[in-house]
Chain A
């Protein structure tokens, strides 16, 4: 077990297919079944690696071990089918105890012990299998447990589709905290805005940071992948700010606009380079499961008008006279798909149609959360289908803290972490650990001893593999 887990970790540390010149992973070979095609693709890849039975020994006992119980049965079925296609006579082994002893006792030629799970940080399913000979050896009759030939180790990976990610998501261990936080990276300078998601289709999520006059793309491990210099802003803004989103923007998947800039830009990440592909009239505020939201900076300021639209619409009338610090999108949509934070420090919860989520109080037409800091994100960390608000401390008397607050007025924080140095001024969310659940990344600006500024990026996740 320990060996297999370490192999899974080794798999995670290896360069992903997206970043090296490996042959493409096996494509789906059949229509999605109940477990989706990813499981079948993985089973087929593993069976291919294993090859046909050697020496005519076909009887194979199959023992599948997974940390996510829901994945076990579909994977066992897919493996049975794939191995049968290779010529094995497969018998699933589900008895407790030592599987090797059980396979010998049942007269099988082989025991195939398979351990599988999601590869941390990648949207991939990985499997490591031990093929153990279990037939009795004529030459080793005085040592009944001895293996007739050395065992083999094989491994395989397949891209994980949404259904598979759902099946493979591990449950939170008993006694584990609600979420975990770790520092992802430190960037020199002040990060004005963050966004996260797939900047290249099928290449896994990245974190994008907008700094004054620059854009930086980071891997989910915090490694710098690309940088780009933005056009100088046309008009001075007393407090620099930017709007940034990662999503489908036509020719590119990254959209940015600095406050005071004449226009925004859509960029494409290609081969480690950010290439501008189009200009943008609006300010891309965020992009999530329910789509993107565009808005506009109030002229000459670093705050936004309360004019939100699913498409760029410079003429969109403001919904109110409020001004906004920013808007967050829930990565997978849901009943709370968007949230808009006003400069009055009240967070308005919005549905997928950008209309206010009705308040529980009949007198109030909208739902507002009080005391949300200006660095915030929407992320469904507990997997209940409703996004929580991941935000900074709203208590100015205490040092900065990361908080996860249920999206209900008056709800107590579900999680707090800190104190941390600096002030959290930006946030974003996406499935960064590829566990099928949302994660958030928050940027805390701090002043260094030499007087310069830097921004620490913190990953907030409920991925059980990340929990302490």
Chain B
């Protein structure tokens, strides 16, 4: 790195510290150059309907076209839809208009039918989506999910560009559902997969010349996997422009909102008499300490299943409560067989929390066997109620309490619970949403633990990093100071 660029790096770092995420004074975006992004793992899932991990979500964000965008200051903005839809028919219908001239990277025109198809894909039985909650409020979603129909009755294509959505219950937050990356249209994003030969240790993306928002600034986007130390080393060497990980990796660091909720689901049906003792043990866990000691990224203790970032300024999570005297003796029968404590095998934070829970349960005379399982298998076992206790980690994708509650409820207890959760919190914000979410947590029999977020660590030359209030950022908006020209 030349002295000039080192100086620029220091200056840029100072500037970003003053105004994180904003473009520097007097400099317009430049096109070109390669932006290399390190992630905890390489993306494995290209389909936005199936993406749930940060790496997969970033890839989906880069290659799929969002219907609506969430701005830095938490407002909705048009994406593939030409405007943010407004409620009709007493809040039970919304009219969606696709932006004229929208196309996929292959040149295929995009229209209302594609949006309807994207909704239907979320309810597919062939490849169950973790984001079915996005389509559940629409009339006929249950019939499609159950396989009784092949199409979503509440999604009515009125014209090539106009779609009418009719809802099963009033949900003023519906436009925020449309901003979910799960509903993004594949092939209509800022980038397309770059032609490559053999399987590689990176995912390379090239600009999509037909991107609805316009050509992305970067000439190439390269996604790689790197551990925390490796990523920090590469960023310092100038071999990376951005690191997205829970840990800070140097450069200009911005903490994204803590929107990944980690919680414990209790299956009282299976636990029987042991359920109260398990609940009491879980309630005794100091969530703040758990968040502080076991979460790698920015973390905050949870009071309900809704992340505090969506509730404004909610009351703090309750501290752990000591178990009543003699409780362990009362739980002795349950200790006869070890409890099955399920945990997703790809979430280190959830695993750390599960291990702590295992110790807590043991302290109270309850033996638990930790079973790391793949995320898809965990979803199936939860749906089948084939667990005693499960630790879940859900990255909330919608920036409204009702929708977050629906997403978490779907992960814990399935579609009916998700629908009820959304209906319960519909239209609620702040304290009223907090109260409703607390009641919902109890009815779902879950113990919220903490919410975590990621950090983005950027090289000084990287510009245009403007995470929305939903914690996501548009890779198409990233650009390099100097246009990626060699110094």
A binds B: yes
Which residues in A have some Cβ–Cβ distance to B below 8 Å? 235-239, 241, 260, 298, 300-303, 323, 325, 342-345, 373-375, 391-400, 422-425, 451
Which residues of A are found within 8 Å of B483, using beta-carbon distances? 323, 342-344
**Is B153 interfacial (CB 8 A cutoff)?**
no
Which residues of B are found within 8 Å of A373, using beta-carbon distances? 25-27
Are the CB atoms of A425 and B26 closer together than 8 Å? yes
**Nearest chain B CB to A51's CB is how many angstroms away?**
58
Q: How far is the CA of A239 from the CA of B483 in the complex (A)?
A: 14
**Is B212 interfacial (CB 8 A cutoff)?**
yes
**Is B352 interfacial (CB 8 A cutoff)?**
no
Are the CB atoms of B11 and A345 closer together than 8 Å? no
**Is B30 interfacial (CB 8 A cutoff)?**
yes
Contact flag A396-B27 (CB < 8 Å), given A300-B215, A343-B485, A344-B483: yes
Are the CB atoms of A300 and B214 closer together than 8 Å? yes
Which 7 pairs of residues, A with B, have the shortest CB-CB distance? A373-B26, A392-B26, A396-B24, A238-B214, A397-B11, A343-B30, A343-B483
Query: A345-B482, A396-B15 provided; 8 other pairs, C-beta below 8 A?
Result: A236-B214, A238-B215, A343-B482, A343-B483, A344-B483, A374-B26, A396-B24, A396-B25
Pick from A239, A391, A394: contact of B29, CB under 8 Å: A239
**Nearest chain A CB to B474's CB is how many angstroms away?**
9
**Is B206 interfacial (CB 8 A cutoff)?**
no
**Is B23 interfacial (CB 8 A cutoff)?**
yes
Are the CB atoms of B26 and A394 closer together than 8 Å? yes
**Is B14 interfacial (CB 8 A cutoff)?**
yes
The range of chain B's interface size is: 20 to 34
**Is B28 interfacial (CB 8 A cutoff)?**
yes
Are the CB atoms of B217 and A374 closer together than 8 Å? no
**Is B32 interfacial (CB 8 A cutoff)?**
yes
Which residues of A are found within 8 Å of B28, using beta-carbon distances? 239, 241, 302, 325, 374, 425
Contact flag A236-B476 (CB < 8 Å), given A396-B12, A397-B11: no
Which residues of B are found within 8 Å of A374, using beta-carbon distances? 26-28
Which residues of B are found within 8 Å of A396, using beta-carbon distances? 8, 11-12, 15, 24-27, 481
Q: How many contacts between A and B, using CB within 8 angstroms?
A: 97
Which residues of B are found within 8 Å of A238, using beta-carbon distances? 29, 213-217, 476-477
Are the CB atoms of B26 and A423 closer together than 8 Å? yes
Q: How far is the CA of A238 from the CA of B31 in the complex (A)?
A: 10
Are the CB atoms of B24 and A236 closer together than 8 Å? no
Which residues in B have some Cβ–Cβ distance to A below 8 Å? 8, 10-12, 14-15, 23-32, 73, 75, 209, 211-217, 476-477, 481-483, 485
Are the CB atoms of B214 and A397 closer together than 8 Å? no
Most chain B C-beta atoms within 10 Å of own C-beta, residue among A238, A398, A425, A451: A238
Query: What are 20 A-B pairs with beta-carbon distances under 8 A?
Result: A236-B211, A236-B212, A238-B213, A238-B216, A239-B217, A298-B31, A301-B214, A303-B30, A303-B31, A343-B32, A343-B482, A344-B482, A345-B27, A345-B481, A392-B25, A392-B26, A393-B26, A395-B11, A396-B8, A397-B15
Which residues of A are found within 8 Å of B27, using beta-carbon distances? 345, 373-374, 396, 423
Are the CB atoms of A399 and B25 closer together than 8 Å? yes
User: Which B residue's beta carbon lies closest to that of A303?
Assistant: B31
Are the CB atoms of B26 and A301 closer together than 8 Å? no
User: Which A residue's beta carbon lies closest to that of B30?
Assistant: A343
Q: How far is the CA of A399 from the CA of B22 in the complex (A)?
A: 13
User: Which B residue's beta carbon lies closest to that of A192?
Assistant: B28
Q: How far is the CA of A325 from the CA of B26 in the complex (A)?
A: 11
User: Which A residue's beta carbon lies closest to that of B31?
Assistant: A301
Which residues of A are found within 8 Å of B73, using beta-carbon distances? 451
**Nearest chain A CB to B136's CB is how many angstroms away?**
32
Q: How far is the CA of A425 from the CA of B23 in the complex (A)?
A: 11
Which residues of B are found within 8 Å of A422, using beta-carbon distances? 25
Which residues of B are found within 8 Å of A345, using beta-carbon distances? 27, 481-482
Which residues of A are found within 8 Å of B213, using beta-carbon distances? 236, 238
User: Which B residue's beta carbon lies closest to that of A344?
Assistant: B485
Are the CB atoms of A423 and B31 closer together than 8 Å? no
User: Which A residue's beta carbon lies closest to that of B209?
Assistant: A300
Which residues of B are found within 8 Å of A325, using beta-carbon distances? 28, 30
**Nearest chain A CB to B288's CB is how many angstroms away?**
34
User: Which B residue's beta carbon lies closest to that of A326?
Assistant: B28
**Nearest chain B CB to A53's CB is how many angstroms away?**
62
Which residues of A are found within 8 Å of B214, using beta-carbon distances? 235-239, 260, 300-301
User: Which B residue's beta carbon lies closest to that of A392?
Assistant: B26
Which residues of B are found within 8 Å of A423, using beta-carbon distances? 23-27
Q: How far is the CA of A210 from the CA of B213 in the complex (A)?
A: 21
Q: How far is the CA of A302 from the CA of B30 in the complex (A)?
A: 8
**Nearest chain B CB to A70's CB is how many angstroms away?**
38
Which residues of A are found within 8 Å of B216, using beta-carbon distances? 238
Which residues of A are found within 8 Å of B25, using beta-carbon distances? 373, 392-393, 396, 398-400, 422-424
Which residues of A are found within 8 Å of B10, using beta-carbon distances? 397
Most chain B C-beta atoms within 10 Å of own C-beta, residue among A325, A343, A345, A395: A343
Q: How far is the CA of A374 from the CA of B26 in the complex (A)?
A: 5
Are the CB atoms of B29 and A302 closer together than 8 Å? yes
Which residues of A are found within 8 Å of B212, using beta-carbon distances? 236
Which residues of A are found within 8 Å of B31, using beta-carbon distances? 298, 301, 303, 323, 343
Which residues of B are found within 8 Å of A398, using beta-carbon distances? 15, 25
**Nearest chain B CB to A41's CB is how many angstroms away?**
44
Q: How far is the CA of A236 from the CA of B15 in the complex (A)?
A: 30
Q: How far is the CA of A342 from the CA of B482 in the complex (A)?
A: 8
**Nearest chain A CB to B277's CB is how many angstroms away?**
52
**Nearest chain A CB to B33's CB is how many angstroms away?**
10
Which residues of A are found within 8 Å of B12, using beta-carbon distances? 396-397
Q: How far is the CA of A303 from the CA of B477 in the complex (A)?
A: 15
Most chain A C-beta atoms within 10 Å of own C-beta, residue among B10, B31, B209: B31
**Nearest chain A CB to B164's CB is how many angstroms away?**
26
Q: How far is the CA of A241 from the CA of B28 in the complex (A)?
A: 10
Which residues of B are found within 8 Å of A300, using beta-carbon distances? 209, 214-215
Which residues of A are found within 8 Å of B30, using beta-carbon distances? 303, 323, 325, 343-344
Q: How far is the CA of A60 from the CA of B209 in the complex (A)?
A: 79
Which residues of B are found within 8 Å of A399, using beta-carbon distances? 25
Which residues of A are found within 8 Å of B209, using beta-carbon distances? 300
Q: How far is the CA of A345 from the CA of B10 in the complex (A)?
A: 18
Which residues of B are found within 8 Å of A375, using beta-carbon distances? 26
User: Which A residue's beta carbon lies closest to that of B13?
Assistant: A397
Q: How far is the CA of A393 from the CA of B212 in the complex (A)?
A: 33
Q: How far is the CA of A323 from the CA of B10 in the complex (A)?
A: 26
**Nearest chain A CB to B189's CB is how many angstroms away?**
13
Q: How far is the CA of A425 from the CA of B481 in the complex (A)?
A: 15
Q: How far is the CA of A344 from the CA of B461 in the complex (A)?
A: 12
Q: How far is the CA of A398 from the CA of B8 in the complex (A)?
A: 12
Most chain B C-beta atoms within 10 Å of own C-beta, residue among A235, A241, A298, A397: A397
Q: How far is the CA of A456 from the CA of B309 in the complex (A)?
A: 35
Which residues of B are found within 8 Å of A451, using beta-carbon distances? 73, 75
**Nearest chain A CB to B18's CB is how many angstroms away?**
8
Are the CB atoms of B482 and A424 closer together than 8 Å? no
Q: How far is the CA of A344 from the CA of B217 in the complex (A)?
A: 14
Q: How far is the CA of A300 from the CA of B75 in the complex (A)?
A: 27
User: Which A residue's beta carbon lies closest to that of B102?
Assistant: A236
Q: How far is the CA of A454 from the CA of B164 in the complex (A)?
A: 36
Q: How far is the CA of A354 from the CA of B243 in the complex (A)?
A: 43
**Nearest chain B CB to A307's CB is how many angstroms away?**
16
Q: How far is the CA of A26 from the CA of B216 in the complex (A)?
A: 58
**Nearest chain B CB to A409's CB is how many angstroms away?**
14
Are the CB atoms of A400 and B26 closer together than 8 Å? yes
**Nearest chain B CB to A259's CB is how many angstroms away?**
9
Q: How far is the CA of A345 from the CA of B480 in the complex (A)?
A: 12
User: Which B residue's beta carbon lies closest to that of A425?
Assistant: B28
**Nearest chain A CB to B475's CB is how many angstroms away?**
12
Which residues of B are found within 8 Å of A260, using beta-carbon distances? 214
**Nearest chain B CB to A118's CB is how many angstroms away?**
33
Q: How far is the CA of A235 from the CA of B215 in the complex (A)?
A: 10
Which residues of B are found within 8 Å of A241, using beta-carbon distances? 28
Which residues of B are found within 8 Å of A344, using beta-carbon distances? 30, 482-483, 485
Most chain B C-beta atoms within 10 Å of own C-beta, residue among A237, A300, A375: A300
Q: How far is the CA of A344 from the CA of B27 in the complex (A)?
A: 11
**Nearest chain B CB to A426's CB is how many angstroms away?**
9
